[in-house]
Amino acid sequence: MNHGIALDMENAVLFWPELIQGTLITRYKRFLADIRLPDGETVTAHCPNSGRMTGCCEPGRPVYISRNDAPSRKLKFTWEIIGMPDSLVGVNTQVPNRLVCQSARSGGIAELSGYERIVTEVRAGEHTRLDLMLTSAIGKKCYVEIKNCTLVEGRTALFPDAVTARGTKHLVDLQKLVADGHRCMMLYLVQRMDAEVFKPADRIDPVYGRELRRAVANGVEIAVYDVHIDLVGIRLRRCLPWCL
């Protein structure tokens, strides 16, 4: 039985539950994927990713799923990883927030050092929540919005992989918080190991790209990290350069 992703609190490593290898047949209705197991059985797994997953949902690719037999679950399987030619790729969008939060707590993110308290899912407006709020000993706040990035083309990580009005709104809200005197950051987590640089995906969502550039000009910071990912777990690997 899968009881969820385990966490090494000291070293900020997320350990996968027991993984079952299969072959992707198709992803459909965004949150569903049919997967063929080695014995020939076909199962339907939950796909915890609302993005388009461009380039990361090709039929025939090897995938790794976890199983949870809790009675409350409609689907017993969850799609965790897909094997791409140059890297495993984490598709579970619940992973970045947990990994970044614990990495910040353990001092693994230099840009977020020096804070004493971290709160998750913070209300930052009437209709907005941001992923993290860090507070220093003297009460200074830093708001962080975390985005999961799985699209890589020619060694360049790109976000978003589909038009995201919600993501654009986050950028607008962060700029308002900067104007109010707070520190704010966009942190992009690249859940794969084959990227060398990060850029906004202007051809997919030019509005988001323009707003990101406006946000940076108005004081919103950017940090980009990739991961080391294998069939045991996932952890932050290195800070990637970014180019607007």
Same domain, 179 and 193: yes
Helical (H) or strand (E) element with 166: helix 165-179
pLDDT tens readout for residues 138-166: 999 999 999 999 999 999 999 999 999 99
pTM, rounded to two decimals: 0.92
Count of domains forming the chain: 2
Kindly write down the DSSP assignment for every residue of 8-42, as one continuous string.
Answer: ETTTTEEEP---EEEEEEEEETTTEEEEE-TTS-E
Q: Which amino acid is at 216?
A: V
Same domain, 121 and 11: no
Asked if 142 contacts 184 with a C-beta cutoff of 8 angstroms, the reply is: yes
The CATH number covering residue 23 comes to: 2.40.50.580
Question: What's the domain range around 181?
Answer: 95-239
Give 157's strand partners. 152, 198
In a domain, 1, yes or no: no
Strand arrangement of the beta sheet that strand 197-200 belongs to: 151-153, 156-159, 197-200
Same domain, 51 and 134: no
The CATH number covering residue 222 comes to: 3.40.1350.60
pLDDT tens readout for residues 88-146: 999 999 999 999 999 999 999 999 999 999 999 998 877 789 999 999 999 999 999 99
Structure-block tokens of residue 238: 């290195």
* pLDDT at position 63 over 70: yes
pLDDT tens readout for residues 183-218: 999 999 999 999 999 999 999 999 999 999 999 999
> d(Cα 132, Cα 144) in Å, to the nearest integer?
5
Helical (H) or strand (E) element with 64: strand 62-67
Asked if 204 contacts 188 with a C-beta cutoff of 8 angstroms, the reply is: no
Structure-block tokens of residue 110: 């230099």
SS3 226: strand
> d(Cα 237, Cα 216) in Å, to the nearest integer?
24
